[in-house]
């Protein structure tokens, strides 16, 4: 993968700063996202990885303004090309969704309305956001179906979702997400529900189309293989926080945060056979029991006193930025006994 | 922690306290149930004691009206019977029939559901087809038919003696499919779980597996269903009695009282029908509200 | 499509046969039709003649086949109570019940559907809560009590509407209709509301819960993510998907209106089939009961068929072959 220039010079397309999402519940408020920050540059693919419950999908939902109630953004900001979108009135936010930020969901079997033809769903999306007439919209819909690789698109446009296979349906979903030409797409586990044999095709399609159109992608997945193949940069999430963020090659080959390092070590290598994969002991804490200090400290092999008291911000590590006190250049290091 | 304090700390009780309609209806239901159960002691008169009836007292209006007196707070009927006392005794009959019919439907439904779910195959198909067919007919029609058949089949004296039992069975039979379906659904799911297979391998009898593993899993939904069904059963009984084919006139339920009162609507003695009607509504509404609350509280998805 | 309809009709046949068997069993084994028809005193010759005339000396399966054959021709014998052919009685009473059921269905649908959609879309609004409370009171009020209360208020106290009967009717061939006179319409109002109210609340609650369910679905979330307008999401996507299950239940509910009219007809002394049925139950008039049972079953089977056809029109998954 080619190196992608110096991103700090470019104005980011999407900026997420100290995003906090909370769920009020009977026994107190749960903090599902705790000061999450990252940028996505124009045309960039940011992979977001982490265990289930780490807050990946929640972050995606917050960006497109579709958090499930009673969840709500309780702090921080989300800006799209310098314009705040986390506090837009619903009417304005609707115009952002689809038009400026597209979305792809996990299960193509359930994301398409079974009662309408795929053509109808494409046309209604385009005509909501673009000033085109019905005939033009239909012409473009055929074009989109061709672009996502549906054979005999001009006939299949009048078919219903159930007449497509899962992989084909996800292609339709991709067409739906891109058809109003948004600046970025939030793809939440776009291949998880598909057959393994089809996953690679769909990811390749997504990658090709977004590169052609210059669309940024926030690719949420727990599949490191997909990330390694597709993303420019990757953010590792843990317990509602960003643990590490950096160029994909660096995170995969030289993860700085002990959690990402553990995560990468548990991926089976393709090149040679191993008898046993290392695993991280313990489990991610529940939202109502996140420890003080670094959320990872009970499981961390390098834990020391400070980790249990003070929460680390993202700090400059050799190749990435990691939320880990090991990389605090200002403080003397006091390693615990491993 | 003992059972009481554990209950007071439970999510169920928390949601109960947070739902005013549930608290109010629990109070109303408790008052009605206690009043009905203790009718012989708390009712001001015995409406069945013919000797105490005085036709001079007939058609007294309720106490808040000009000619009313506190002796008969809800007025009297055409026989001079105290309406309040008749309501208390009538609620007793309504509750007994409603509870018995629900218990009957529950028992039949659970047994059929377990059998269908566990046996599967043809047994399941036949039993559920019967349930489906029956479900498409309104239960009041089924109850009417059973009552009509009993009337035709039993000699008159026998029928009069058994009238209450006939009503209970008629309503119970008309309501069993709902229970059977719920139980069957869970039985089908549980049947294929590994622990059931394991239990079968080590020779535990199917009946025992059903009772110890499947049944506990459906207690929540069954409780909700039974509560809501109780409301329906009370309504069915009232409807049958109103139509004149329910409980015998010698043991009037609320429905019978309304039927009697209906004859005097036009002559201005509206209270004879209205107060039993209000009592019936209060009873069914509180049961239904409790059932609704229970359903929402036990269904975490709706929370 | 024809295969689909055919299979539905084939499925309906065993149901009708089962109901026919019950009706036949009622007819043949409950009570003693001979004694009922001949009264207290009769000679053995009279008895034998009647047994032969009714075919009661034949084997039971033969009797059953004859019963079905007669039923198909609308022949249900004589009413024990009125000594008139059951079929005549039913034909006479049917228009009153059907007109009442039609009006009640219109009331239930025209009010219940919008209320259900509204409460589904805005579950937390004050009006929705009011609707829900109303519906709960609606299901807790027995039909006969609603009727009595309406009579008390609108007929006894206000004197605006009649409390019983059909008003003036006009005879169109064998069909007597109340739709052509002012008094006929006035007489329809209270019974229709009484009969429709329960179904109204059921429809409202059903539509509401289906709406809530569909609004939580992935495709509605995805429609939101596509930035579609609220109106198009709520009505184009949510409501249309709600209709599939709603049609089934509503269809069956409207069918049961005919059976529920038993109670309403009793309260309002409405001269329909329900009143006829309740009179036969209290006097154990088995032929009428059996015929009514079969008729109601036929109505239900027909409605089921119509519901299936509507399904077919709404849901493309049934129409087109699966393309996997």
**Helical (H) or strand (E) element with B37:** helix B20-37
Number of structural domains chain C divides into: 2
Answer whether C148 sits within 8 Å of B262, measured CB to CB.
yes
Answer whether C156 sits within 8 Å of B265, measured CB to CB.
yes
Between residues A100 and C286, the one the model is more confident about? A100
What is the mean predicted confidence (pLDDT) over B139-156?
79
Boundary of a domain, candidates C72, C106, C127: C72
Q: Which of A138, A134, A205, A213 is nearest to A174 (CA)?
A: A205
Same domain for A173 and A53, yes or no, is yes
Residue A273: inside a domain? no
* A97-101, C145-149, C157-161 — most confident range: A97-101
- Residue A199 CA to residue A179 CA, distance in Å, equals 21
- Residue B254 CA to residue B277 CA, distance in Å, equals 7
Number of H helices, E strands in chain C: 14, 2
What is the mean predicted confidence (pLDDT) over B35-63?
72
Same domain for A314 and A221, yes or no, is no
What is the mean predicted confidence (pLDDT) over B63-84?
72
Please state the three-class secondary structure of C202-268 as a single string: HHHHHHHHHHHHHHCCHHHHHHHHCCCCHHHHHHHHHHHHHHHHHHHHHHHHHHHHHHHHHHHHHHC
pLDDT score for A276: 76
Answer whether B266 sits within 8 Å of C163, measured CB to CB.
yes
* B220-224, C22-26, C101-105 — most confident range: C101-105
Answer whether A115 sits within 8 Å of C241, measured CB to CB.
yes
What is the mean predicted confidence (pLDDT) over C205-211?
89
Same domain for A36 and A70, yes or no, is yes
Smallest Cα distance from A104 to chain C, Å? 8
Q: Is residue A49 a contact partner of residue A236, using CB atoms and an 8 Å limit?
A: yes
Checking if the pLDDT of B93 tops 60, the result is yes
Partner A, chain C 191-250, Cβ-Cβ below 8 Å: 217-230, 232, 236-237, 240-241, 244
Q: Which residues from A are below 8 Å from C217, CB to CB?
A: 110
Same domain for A122 and A260, yes or no, is no
Tell me what the pLDDT averaged over chain A comes to: 88
Answer whether C224 sits within 8 Å of A66, measured CB to CB.
yes
What is the mean predicted confidence (pLDDT) over C45-63?
76
pLDDT score for C278: 86
Same domain for C247 and C161, yes or no, is yes
Q: Which chains touch A (3 or more CB pairs under 8 A)?
A: C
Smallest Cα distance from C226 to chain A, Å? 4
Q: Which of A127, C267, C248 is nearest to B277 (CA)?
A: C267
Q: Which of A308, A321, A239 is nearest to A280 (CA)?
A: A239
- Residue A222 CA to residue A47 CA, distance in Å, equals 10
- Residue A111 CA to residue C102 CA, distance in Å, equals 39
Answer whether C316 sits within 8 Å of A113, measured CB to CB.
no
Checking if the pLDDT of A135 tops 70, the result is yes
| Nearest beta carbon to residue C256 from set B138, B284, B292 | B138
Q: How many CB contacts within 8 angstroms connect chain A with chain C? A: 93
Q: Which residues from A are below 8 Å from C229, CB to CB?
A: 94, 128
Smallest Cα distance from B217 to chain C, Å? 24
Exposure string (b/e) for B213-240, b if CB count within 10 Å is 16 or more? bbbeebeebbebbbbbbbbbbbbbbbbb
- Whole-angstrom Cα Rg for chain A: 21
Neighbouring residues of B68: CB distance < 8 A, sequence distance ≥ 6: B60, B61, B62, B75
Neighbouring residues of C156: CB distance < 8 A, sequence distance ≥ 6: B265, B266, B268, B270, C163
Confidence category of residue C2, pLDDT binned at 50, 70, 90: low
A160 touching C (Cβ < 8 Å): yes
What was the ipTM of the complex prediction?
0.87
Q: What are phi and psi of B167, to 5 degrees?
A: -60, -45
Residue A2: inside a domain? no
pLDDT score for B56: 67
Same domain for A198 and A263, yes or no, is no
Answer whether C262 sits within 8 Å of B281, measured CB to CB.
no
pLDDT score for C309: 80
The tens digit of pLDDT for each residue in B184-242 reads 888 887 777 777 778 778 878 777 877 777 788 788 888 888 998 999 899 989 988 88
Top residue of A162, A170, A175, A190 to mutate, by most chain C CBs within 10 Å, is A162
Q: Which residues from C are below 8 Å from A62, CB to CB?
A: none
pLDDT score for C1: 57
Answer whether C225 sits within 8 Å of A115, measured CB to CB.
no
Handedness of CA B116, C248, A121, A184 (dihedral sign): negative
- Residue C143 CA to residue C28 CA, distance in Å, equals 33
Confidence category of residue A336, pLDDT binned at 50, 70, 90: very low
- Residue C274 CA to residue C90 CA, distance in Å, equals 10
Q: Is residue C163 a contact partner of residue C155, using CB atoms and an 8 Å limit?
A: yes
Residue A239: inside a domain? no
Tell me what the pLDDT averaged over chain B comes to: 81
In this structure, what CATH number is given to the domain that contains residue A167? 3.40.50.300
Between residues A59 and B84, the one the model is more confident about? A59
Q: Which of A45, A57, A6 is nearest to A208 (CA)?
A: A45
Smallest Cα distance from B262 to chain C, Å? 7
Q: Which of C308, C303, C230, C288 is nearest to C93 (CA)?
A: C288
Neighbouring residues of C22: CB distance < 8 A, sequence distance ≥ 6: C293
Checking if the pLDDT of C40 tops 70, the result is no
Neighbouring residues of B217: CB distance < 8 A, sequence distance ≥ 6: B186, B190
- How many angstroms separate the Cα of A88 from the Cα of each of A32, A35, A93? 21, 20, 6
What is the mean predicted confidence (pLDDT) over A97-123?
92
A144 touching C (Cβ < 8 Å): no
Burial of A193 (0-12, 13-18, 19+ CB in 10 A): middle
- Residue A241 CA to residue A56 CA, distance in Å, equals 9
Q: Which residues from B are below 8 Å from C259, CB to CB?
A: 137-138, 140-141
Q: What are phi and psi of C247, to 5 degrees?
A: -55, -45
Domain borders along chain B are 55-298
Between residues C197 and C281, the one the model is more confident about? C197
Q: Which of B119, B48, B79 is nearest to B272 (CA)?
A: B79
Give the three-class secondary structure for A3. coil
What is the mean predicted confidence (pLDDT) over B56-77?
69
Checking if the pLDDT of C320 tops 70, the result is no
| A72-80 and A83-84 strand pairing | antiparallel
Same domain for C126 and C249, yes or no, is yes
- What's domain B55-298's architecture? Orthogonal Bundle (1.10)
Checking if the pLDDT of C323 tops 50, the result is no
Of A230-244, B36-50, B106-120, which gets the smallest average pLDDT?
A: B36-50
Q: Which residues from C are below 8 Å from A125, CB to CB?
A: 226-228
| A28-40 and A14-25 strand pairing | antiparallel
Boundary of a domain, candidates C72, C105, C123: C72
Q: Which residues from C are below 8 Å from B266, CB to CB?
A: 156, 163
What is the mean predicted confidence (pLDDT) over A29-42?
92
Same domain for A201 and A292, yes or no, is no
pLDDT score for C223: 93
What is the mean predicted confidence (pLDDT) over A27-32?
86
C216: nearest CA partner in chain A:
A68
Residue A190: inside a domain? yes
Same domain for A173 and A26, yes or no, is yes
What is the mean predicted confidence (pLDDT) over A37-56?
92
Q: Is residue C134 a contact partner of residue C201, using CB atoms and an 8 Å limit?
A: yes
Q: Which of B92, B58, B60, B91 is nearest to B74 (CA)?
A: B60
Same domain for A79 and A205, yes or no, is yes
Answer whether C156 sits within 8 Å of B147, measured CB to CB.
no
What is the mean predicted confidence (pLDDT) over A171-180?
94
Residue A238: inside a domain? no
| Nearest beta carbon to residue B136 from set C31, C152, C252 | C252
The tens digit of pLDDT for each residue in C209-264 reads 889 888 888 999 999 999 999 899 998 888 888 887 788 777 777 777 887 888 89
Q: Which residues from B are below 8 Å from C286, CB to CB?
A: 152
pLDDT score for C281: 80
Same domain for A140 and A251, yes or no, is no
Same domain for C18 and C160, yes or no, is no
**Chain B residues with at least one Cβ partner in C under 8 Å:** 133, 136-138, 140-141, 144-145, 147-149, 151-153, 231, 235, 238-239, 242-245, 255, 258, 262, 265-266, 268, 270, 273-274, 277, 280-281, 284-285, 288-289, 292
What is the mean predicted confidence (pLDDT) over A327-336?
62
Same domain for A205 and A259, yes or no, is no
What is the mean predicted confidence (pLDDT) over C52-75?
79
Same domain for A94 and A204, yes or no, is yes
Confidence category of residue B300, pLDDT binned at 50, 70, 90: low
Same domain for A199 and A295, yes or no, is no
Domain span at C42 = 2-72
Confidence category of residue A4, pLDDT binned at 50, 70, 90: very low
Smallest Cα distance from B285 to chain C, Å? 5
Domain span at A128 = 10-231
Confidence category of residue C110, pLDDT binned at 50, 70, 90: very high
* A127-131, C46-50, C55-59, C250-254 — most confident range: A127-131
Residue A262: inside a domain? yes
Answer whether A66 sits within 8 Å of C221, measured CB to CB.
yes
Q: Is residue C289 a contact partner of residue C274, using CB atoms and an 8 Å limit?
A: no
| Nearest beta carbon to residue B145 from set C15, C144, C293 | C293
Top residue of C30, C257, C263, C281 to mutate, by most chain B CBs within 10 Å, is C281
What is the mean predicted confidence (pLDDT) over C110-124?
91
Number of structural domains chain A divides into: 2
Checking if the pLDDT of C127 tops 90, the result is yes
Exposure string (b/e) for A108-119, b if CB count within 10 Å is 16 or more? bbbbbbbbbbbb
């Amino acid at each position: 993968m080619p190196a992608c220039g110096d991103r700090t010079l470019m104005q980011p397309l999407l900026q997420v700063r100290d995003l906090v999402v909370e769920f009020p519940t009977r026994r107190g408020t749960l903090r599902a996202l705790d000061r999450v920050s990252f940028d996505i540059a124009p045309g960039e693919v940011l992979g977001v990885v982490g265990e289930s419950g780490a807050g990946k999908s929640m972050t995606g939902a917050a960006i497109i303004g579709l958090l499930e109630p009673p969840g709500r953004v309780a702090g921080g900001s989300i800006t799209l090309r310098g314009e705040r979108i986390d506090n837009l009135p619903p009417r304005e936010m609707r115009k952002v969704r689809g038009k400026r930020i597209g979305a792809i969901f996990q299960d193509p079997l359930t994301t398409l309305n079974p009662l309408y033809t795929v053509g109808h769903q494409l046309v209604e999306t385009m005509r909501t956001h673009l000033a085109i007439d019905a005939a033009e919209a239909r012409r473009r819909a055929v074009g989109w179906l061709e672009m996502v690789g549906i054979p005999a698109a001009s006939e299949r446009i009048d078919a219903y979702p159930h007449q497509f296979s899962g992989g084909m349906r996800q292609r339709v979903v991709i067409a739906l997400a891109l058809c109003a030409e948004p600046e970025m797409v939030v793809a939440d586990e776009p291949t998880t529900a598909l057959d393994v044999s089809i996953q690679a095709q769909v990811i390749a399609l997504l990658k090709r189309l977004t590169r052609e159109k210059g669309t940024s992608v926030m690719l949420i997945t727990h599949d490191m293989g997909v990330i390694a193949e597709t993303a420019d940069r990757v953010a590792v999430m843990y317990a509602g926080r960003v643990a590490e963020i950096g160029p994909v090659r660096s995170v995969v080959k030289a993860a700085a945060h002990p959690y990402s390092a553990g995560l990468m070590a548990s991926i089976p290598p393709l090149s040679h056979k191993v008898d046993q994969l290392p695993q991280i002991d313990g489990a991610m804490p529940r939202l109502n029991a996140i420890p003080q200090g670094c959320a990872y400290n009970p499981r961390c092999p390098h834990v020391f006193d400070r980790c249990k008291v003070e929460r680390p911000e993202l700090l400059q590590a050799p190749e990435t930025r990691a939320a880990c006190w090991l990389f605090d250049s200002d403080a003397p290091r006091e390693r615990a006994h491993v | 922690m003992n059972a009481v304090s554990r209950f007071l700390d439970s999510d169920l009780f928390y949601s109960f306290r947070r739902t005013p309609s549930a608290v109010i209806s629990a109070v109303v239901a408790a008052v009605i149930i206690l009043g009905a159960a203790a009718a012989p002691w708390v009712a001001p008169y015995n409406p069945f004691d013919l000797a105490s009836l005085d036709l001079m007292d007939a058609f007294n209006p309720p106490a808040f009206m000009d000619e009313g007196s506190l002796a008969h707070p809800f007025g009297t009927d055409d026989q001079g019977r105290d309406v309040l006392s008749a309501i208390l005794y009538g609620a007793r009959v309504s509750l007994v029939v409603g509870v018995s019919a629900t218990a009957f439907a529950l028992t039949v439904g659970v047994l059929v559901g377990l059998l269908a779910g566990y046996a599967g195959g043809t047994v399941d198909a036949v039993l559920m087809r019967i349930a489906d067919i029956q479900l498409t007919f309104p239960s009041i029609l089924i109850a009417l038919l059973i009552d009509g058949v009993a009337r035709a089949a039993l000699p008159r004296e026998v029928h009069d003696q058994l009238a209450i039992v006939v009503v209970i069975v008629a309503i119970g039979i008309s309501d069993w499919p709902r229970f059977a379906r719920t139980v069957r659904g869970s039985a089908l799911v549980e049947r294929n779980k590994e622990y059931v297979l394991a239990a079968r391998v080590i020779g535990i009898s199917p009946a025992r597996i059903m009772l110890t593993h499947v049944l506990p899993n459906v207690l929540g939904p069954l409780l909700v269903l039974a509560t809501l069904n109780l409301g329906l059963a009370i309504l069915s009984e009232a409807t049958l009695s109103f139509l004149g084919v329910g409980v015998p006139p010698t043991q009037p339920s609320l429905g019978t009282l309304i039927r009697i009162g209906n004859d005097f609507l036009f002559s201005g003695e509206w209270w004879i029908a209205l107060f039993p009607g209000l009592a019936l509504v209060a009873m069914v509404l509180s049961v239904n509200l409790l059932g609704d609350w229970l359903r929402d509280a036990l269904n975490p998805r709706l929370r | 499509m024809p295969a689909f309809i055919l299979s539905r009709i084939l499925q309906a046949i065993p149901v009708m046969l089962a109901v026919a068997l019950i009706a036949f069993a009622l007819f043949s084994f409950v009570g003693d039709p001979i004694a009922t028809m001949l009264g207290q005193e009769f000679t053995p010759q009279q008895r034998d003649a009647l047994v032969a005339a009714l075919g009661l000396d034949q084997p039971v399966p033969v009797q059953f086949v004859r019963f079905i054959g007669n039923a198909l021709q609308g022949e249900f014998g004589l009413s024990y109570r009125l000594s008139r052919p059951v079929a005549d009685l039913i034909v006479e009473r049917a228009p009153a019940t059907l007109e009442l059921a039609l009006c009640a269905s219109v009331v239930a649908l025209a009010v219940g559907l919008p209320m259900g959609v509204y409460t589904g879309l805005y579950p937390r609004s004050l009006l929705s809560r009011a609707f829900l409370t109303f519906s709960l009171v609606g299901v807790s009020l027995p039909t006969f009590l609603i009727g009595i209360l309406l009579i008390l208020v609108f007929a006894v106290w206000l004197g605006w509407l009649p409390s019983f009967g059909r008003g003036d009717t006009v005879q169109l061939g064998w069909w007597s209709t109340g739709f052509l006179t002012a008094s006929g319409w006035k007489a329809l109002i209270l019974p229709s509301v009484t009969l429709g109210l329960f179904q109204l609340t059921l429809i409202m609650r059903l539509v509401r819960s289906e709406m809530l369910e569909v609004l939580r679905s992935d495709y509605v979330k995805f429609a939101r993510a596509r930035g579609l307008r609220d109106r198009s999401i709520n009505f184009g996507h949510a409501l249309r998907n709600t209709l599939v299950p709603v049609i089934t239940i509503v269809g069956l509910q409207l069918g049961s209106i005919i059976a529920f009219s038993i109670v309403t007809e009793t309260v309002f002394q409405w001269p329909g089939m329900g009143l006829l049925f309740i009179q036969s139950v209290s006097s154990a008039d088995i032929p009428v009961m059996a015929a009514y049972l079969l008729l109601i079953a036929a109505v239900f089977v027909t409605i089921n068929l119509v519901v299936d056809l509507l399904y077919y029109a709404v849901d493309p998954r049934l129409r087109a072959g699966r393309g996997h």
